[in-house]
Structure 1
Amino acid sequence: MKTNLIGIDLGGTTTKIAFLKTDGEILDKWSIPTDISEAGQHIVPNIIESIKKHVTDSGNKLSDFAGIGMGTPGSVDIENGTVIGAYNLNWKTRQNVRDQIQSALGLQFVLDNDANVASLGEYWKGAGEKDEDVVFVTLGTGVGGGVIAGGRLLHGINGGAGELGHITVEPNGYLCTCGKRGCLEQYSSATGIVHVARDMAAEFTGHSRLKELFDNQEEVTSKMVVYLADNGDILANQIVDRVSFFLGLALANVANILNPANIIIGGGVSAAGNSLLQPTTRYFQENSFPAVRDSTKLRLAQLGNDAGVIGAASLALRFVTAK
């Protein structure tokens, strides 16, 4: 039996790639820049080239691998192995990713949406490891999600299941890139937190280091907002509380429908840890049905940047038994 897998986590600036055992242990991992120039036409060839080089350099052969899995932004057609609408990759037209990679490397290939794949990683080897019912929310530049019910990843009729970032938390609120208003993504993502912070700073009249930064037109990041909140800045604390309210409300709505064992919070913003988790949990409990509140837990993700490649590799496990 072929005992190794390849996992690819395709992002807008960086592509992470790893060789893994079939039990999820990472053997080797690296990353390459994602070249989105010329309508993103170099992305897949660069991935192919990098994998070939690492296979050779590591003393392996392509035939040692059972298959390849990949997580990608955009709308994914799993059946046909294509991606469309990944705007941060400049992929505006349909990309035949599976055909390109399978024909170049001779390995079976499967892909899925990047947030779904990260949730599979946490489900397989991370914070959701022992539960069959898990929801994953990733707070990064945007907000993504994945729903695993009865051990199966849900896709929905048109691939839209788990779009937690587009739950409406503020009717007629901030305009979202999806075209509607008040989406969670516009409040609890890294960019959303800064938008909330800017608007709240404009109305704040007390003393605040964060307000000074805005007044001086200095660059403010979500990380700085959380840092200042942790260090007693009143405005920053109000912002974190507001962001946590929206996140807790959205997650309570999800839990009231699905009642998963765990809702796992990952992505760059989750590095804020308990600063975000504690107030979010409070609002989650205020807004969730009693039976749900007593059973569904909010947890921080455990795998960090490895969730994507581990989840991607888990997609390729189907090829191991097929051999």
Structure 2
Amino acid sequence: MGSGQTFFEELGNENISGVAYKNLNLKKKIIAWFANVGNATITDLSKELNASSPKVTNLLTELAQEGLIQDYGKIDSVSGRRPNLYGLTPDAGFFIGVEVQKYHINLGLLDFKRNLVTFKGKVPYTLENSPASLDALCSIIQEFMGELPVSKQKILGVGLNLTGRINYATGYSYSFFYFNEEPLSKVIESRLGVRTFLENDSRAMAYGEFCCGIVNTEKNVLYINLDHGIGMGVMINGQLYYGKSGFSGEFGHIPFFDNELICHCGKKGCLETEASGIALLRNFGEKLREGVSSVIVTQHGIKPEEITLEDIVHAANNDDMLAIELIAEVGEKLGKGIAMLINLFNPEMVILGGCMATTGDYIRLPVKNAINRYSLSLVNNDTQLAFSRLGEKAGIIGACLLVRNKLLALA
């Protein structure tokens, strides 16, 4: 018999013990199997959990009564009675992913079976380290929640991706909105009324790509987020790598250049100062002031001071020579940095994602040339250079899956 509490109520009950505690752990393992492996029979689950068939049957019945799992019917069998196949109910629960970019927000709703039910991209927003910017962020999320086709009771958690230093374990953001003694995750959670978790944006993108994107059997993968800054997510032996305080992957802040350019982190010579979207914007503006022409100005009439990174990427993809040349320069410097990573990690795959990655070969070829020039050939021969398959949805999917893992202890 059940404990009288729902599965999710039991998850939040710190005083649960005895038989109820054992049953809860078995239920979590059942859901983890369905979530990470797929549908299964009672016999499969009994072997996996080292539990009796009657025990597994009782637990499945309780989960089914709550609407968390369902019977998907009988499967083909060579002999004997055909067993029933069980799996997660897609609409048993949902997760919201929120990706905060410099000038817009992406939001999405993921169901229990990793289906992206709703996606709302490029909602106008300006990320600033101010209480007003935090208020605007919460308002956008609340508006999105109000438009969803599911009840708030079925939204199990919100995953919020921010750039900079995020301690995912404590919920603190040290780069943005560090105004309160309590963690930012708790501040936002109190406003939304839904469990909220923070994650670094590049790491969430990486996780989305690892789970649902271009990664197949690879276990050691680097994801490079090429946007205004440069971020990185690291997968080692199939697991997302955080480091001691959750700050791993600060690839953009390696002191790579001997220059006087001050990075937004406050130090000089970071890789971001010459190999990022910020550097591309700065170089583009300098060339325009020197009299070099671009279709962004001549055809689209955009003032030089109003040009965005997306404008330059769009121009490159439409054969603007200035944009192409400057992206190649950034790609060469970036590739030298990636060559260093390849020498260090010897990864199976390096994934290029983010805004600048959408320029395709304009960024890939100079990066690849630099990798060949600066990394050890015996090492880079085993490394694939790939593009993100999920694109702007990678961070949303990653955020939702990370929340699902944390809430249901599936990781």
**Same fold per superposition (TM over 0.5):** yes
1:244 is displaced (CA, Å) by 1.9
Gap change, CA 1:242 and 1:16, over 3 Å in 2 = closer
5 Å-filtered alignment, 1:46-195, equals 46-47=139-140, 49-55=142-148, 58=149, 60-86=150-176, 91-94=177-180, 96-104=183-191, 107-172=194-259, 174-195=261-282
Report the residue type matching 1:42 in the other structure. D
Task: Give the counterpart letter for 1:112 in structure 2.
Answer: E
Deviation at 1:254, TM superposition (A): 0.8
In structure 1, stretches of 5+ residues that fail to align are none
Corresponding residue to 2:118 among 28, 40, 52: 28
TM-score normalised over the length of structure 2: 0.66
Aligned residues: 311
Q: The residue matched to 2:268 in structure 1 has which SS?
A: coil
SS at match of 1:46: helix
**Equivalent residue letter for 2:156:** A
Task: Identify the range of structure 1 (24-33 vs 249-258) with the bigger mean alpha-carbon deviation.
Answer: 24-33
Deviations 1:155-179 (A, max 9, x none): 2223331111112332235321222
Larger radius of gyration: 2
Q: Deviations over 1:175-202 (max 9, x none)?
A: 2122222222122222212334556788
Instruction: Specify the code of the residue in structure 2 equivalent to 1:119.
Output: A
Distance 1:96 1:54, change over 3 A: farther
Contact 1:285 1:293 (C-alpha < 8 Å) held by counterparts = yes
Distance 1:263 1:230 in 2: 26
Aligned partner letter, 2:118: D
- RCO higher in structure (CA 8 A, sep ≥6): 1
Deviation at 1:105, TM superposition (A): 5.0
Q: 1:278 aligns with which of 365, 382, 395?
A: 365
- Give the drift of 1:67: 2.5
Q: Report the AA paired with residue 66 of structure 1.
A: L
Measure, in 1, the Cα distance between the counterparts of 2:320 and 2:146. 50
**Amino acid paired to 2:103:** T
Contact 2:313 2:355 in 1 (8 A): no
Among all aligned residue pairs of Structure 1 and Structure 2, give the percentage whose two residues are the same amino acid. Answer: 25
Provide Cα deviations, 1:271-303, integer angstroms capped at 9, x if missing partner.
Answer: 110111012111111111222211112111121
**Aligned CA distance change for structure 1 residues 157 and 102 (closer, same or farther; 3 Å):** same
2:219 partner SS? coil
Give the SS at the match of 1:159.
Answer: coil
For 2:314 and 2:365, the matched residues in 1 are separated by: 13
Give the TM-score taking structure 1 as reference length. 0.82
Which deviates further from its counterpart, 71-80 or 270-279?
71-80
Checking the alignment, whether the CA contact within 8 Å between 2:331 and 2:366 is kept in structure 1 is yes
Q: Report the equivalent of 1:266.
A: 353
Would the aligned equivalents of 1:226 and 1:275 in 2 still touch at CA under 8 Å?
Answer: no
Distance 1:123 1:191 in 2: 27
Evaluate the alpha carbon distance shift between residue 315 and residue 202 of structure 1 in structure 2; reply closer, same or farther with a 3 A threshold.
same
4+ long deviations beyond 6 Å = 200-204
Which deviates more from structure 2 when the two are superposed, residues 293-302 or residues 41-50? 41-50
The alignment partner of 1:314 has SS state of: helix
